[in-house]
A and B are shown apart, each in its own frame.
Chain A
Amino acid sequence: MLKIEGLAVEREERLLFSGLSVSLSAGEGLHIVGENGAGKTTLLRVLCGLTLQASGSISWCGQDVSVFREEYCSDLLYLGHKNANKTELNCRENLRLALGVLSVSDEAISDALHDAGLGLISHLPTRFLSQGQQRRLSLARLLLTKSKLWILDEPYVALDYKAIDWLDSHLERHLKSGGMLILTSHQTLTLSSKIRVLNLGEQHA
């Protein structure tokens, strides 16, 4: 399970937070809150290994993630601010490429796109999609992944009410099936599962 010990992160010689210790076990969710610039995105990137921490350690199932990077990454799904969709490809092609494996069946992809409300426009190049639709496409990965740890940076941005309910239902399903979830969001979560809140501003003080 995910264990963070004494984590300190600096950006441009400014200490964002230090002494952060959290652990997350199966079926648990963590909602990271904080003011703009508190270091929420940076924390998520550090947890993914994209940004290096100043000190502290992160371990996954008892193994240091910087040493066992590949094992950790195979259990990890990260969705950042950028949707990572290629504008000239259609939804179907984008979803297939994003999964990084070729063995996903066409039906599974169609079902996921339909579920995400993109069934009717799955043949369109994504440059014709609205911001919210692009976000849905990027989130459709959640339906097909087997990753145990989801790290989502502002997943609700640009989504309409229907899509927020849709995303919530999949987050619930993930947590119920023993998955782990870390997300940032400025809005109050409406998930029925209990999710711990970590306030980065308070951490610092």
Chain B
Amino acid sequence: MHKMLWALFSRDMTLFMHRKQDVVTVLGFFLIAVALFPLGISSDPELLRTIAPGAIWIAALFSTVLALDRLFSEDLDDGTLEQQMLMPVPISLMLLVRLIAHWVITSLPIVLLAPIMGLQFGLAFNEIVILTLSLLVGTPILVLLGAIGAALTVGLKSSGGLVTLLLLPLYVPVLILGSSAVSSVMNGADVTAHFSLMGAALIISLVLSPFAVATALKITLD
């Protein structure tokens, strides 16, 4: 069974190698969105430092939503999704592998770029570390929750707006925890609580989200 799951993971990686533009679009969106904040608000370094965590987190959040579009819709259209639903492995496990691959392809680059974005806002070293760690724990939650929205709307035309409306309320707690972890470290406060809560949310969504996505996709394909 692990061989099939590994084959599935490498399938997504192979597809990514042939379709880098999808990921470049998401990353480009992230970079430009972050760069717009200084242009739109102010060039005051102190103010920029204050808004940096929120700005980077909001840009990461929208990039995740943007990337969700490629998760199921094409596979549904070309019939690959129904073939995957018939793989001799539990559907939720199959989906978990696909979500991990999706995170590696679309979110990990954002996590890796975040330190550079932090430097642009003049964050200190320890603040950049916390920013990157908060994204490392937070973006998988965004992907896992987002997949539920993507699975529920995958058969619909112009589902992008609907997914955004569905997901943003669910994303609020993650956004608050993630960006306030960085703000807290700026003020010299402890961030253990932030990371404990985000870690708990990550574990819960890792366990529950694949089942929810599986149910949603079964309804879509029915």
Write out, one digit per residue, whether chain A residues 86-97 have a CB within 8 A of any chain B CB (1) or not (0): 111100010001
> Which residues of A are found within 8 Å of B7, using beta-carbon distances?
97, 100-102
Bound together, the chains give a CA A6 to CA B130 distance in angstroms of 61
Which one of B30-38, B76-84, B160-168 is at the A interface? B76-84
A98 adjacent to chain B (CB < 8 Å): yes
Known: A74-B88, A102-B7. A50 touches B14 (CB 8 A): no
Which residue from A71, A89, A93, A102 sits with its C-beta under 8 Å from B3? A102
B87 touching A100 by the CB < 8 A rule?
Answer: yes
A97-B82 Cα distance, complex, nearest whole Å = 14
Are B19 and A88 in contact, CB atoms less than 8 angstroms apart? yes
The contact string, 1 if C-beta is below 8 Å from chain B, for chain A 65-103, is: 000001101101010111111111100010001101111
Q: How far is the CA of A78 from the CA of B87 in the complex (A)?
A: 10
The majority secondary structure among interface residues of chain B is helix
Mask of B45-80 contacts with A, CB within 8 angstroms, 1/0:
000000000000000000000000000000001111
Chain B min CB distance to A140 (Å): 14
Could you tell me if A103 and B3 are in contact, using CB atoms closer than 8 angstroms? yes
> Hey, which chain B residues are within 8 Å of A85, CB to CB?
78
What 1/0 mask marks residues of chain B from 159 to 197 whose CB sits below 8 Å from any chain A CB?
000000000000000000000000000000000000000
Instruction: Tell yes or no: B157 within 8 A of A by CB.
Output: no
Complex-state Cα separation, A73 to B4, whole angstroms: 13
Q: Name the residue on B nearest A71 (C-beta).
A: B88
Q: Cβ of A81 and Cβ of B79 under 8 Å apart?
A: yes
Residues B78 and A82 in contact, CB atoms below 8 Å apart: yes
Q: Does B25 contact A (CB under 8 A)?
A: no
Task: Select from chain B the residue with minimum beta-carbon distance to A49.
Answer: B86
Cβ-neighbour of B4 out of A51, A71, A76, A101 (below 8 A)? A101
Contact of A70 among B10, B11, B14, B88 (CB under 8 A): B88
Contact of B89 (CB < 8 Å), options: A70, A78, A80, A81: A70
**Which A residue sits closest to B89, measured CB to CB?**
A70
- Collect the chain A residues with CB atoms within 8 Å of residue B10's CB: 102
Q: In whole Å, how far is B13's beta carbon from the nearest beta carbon of chain A?
A: 11
Instruction: Judge if B221 is at the interface, Cβ distance under 8 Å.
Output: yes
A52 at the interface (CB under 8 A from B): yes
Chain B contact residues, CB within 8 Å of chain A = 3-4, 6-8, 10-11, 14-15, 18-19, 77-80, 82-83, 85-90, 221-222
| Interface residues, chain A, with chain B CB atoms under 8 Å away | 48-52, 70-71, 73-74, 76, 78, 80-89, 93, 97-98, 100-103
A-B residue pairs in contact (CB < 8 Å), sample of 5: A50-B82, A82-B79, A82-B82, A86-B78, A97-B14
- Other than the given A82-B77, A89-B14, A93-B14, 13 more pairs (CB < 8 A) read A50-B82, A50-B221, A51-B221, A51-B222, A52-B222, A73-B86, A80-B79, A84-B83, A86-B78, A88-B19, A101-B4, A101-B7, A103-B3
